[in-house]
Amino acid sequence: MQRVCFLLKVKAELAEEYRARHETVWPQMLAALSASGWRNYSLFLRPDGLLVGYLETEDFGAALAAMAATEVNARWQSQMAHYFEGIDGGAPDAAMVPLAEVFHLE
């Protein structure tokens, strides 16, 4: 199992709205994530907009590709894009660059 952690930057003035949007993630989006191999997926948001994502998957590249192939992901990403800094109009999931894991306590 691959553990993946990534950072993104939500616009600070939209952080509360972004948080509220995630209180009711579409059931179709949740099902697509699960079917695409995303496990134990969590997002953490600091008040200044720093977003930390964590998930576990067999293959992160394959999990991203499987989500990219779904219509629901395209709709979700297009609605979420305006919340982020530094993605230059791209989809937020395309900006997920895994951090290097340096320690894990088993």
Known catalytic membership, residue 82: no
List 7, 16, 22, 101, catalytic entry: 22
Nearest to 53 by CA among 1, 5, 3: 5
Q: Tell me the two tokens of residue 90.
A: 């791209």
Active-site residue numbers? 22
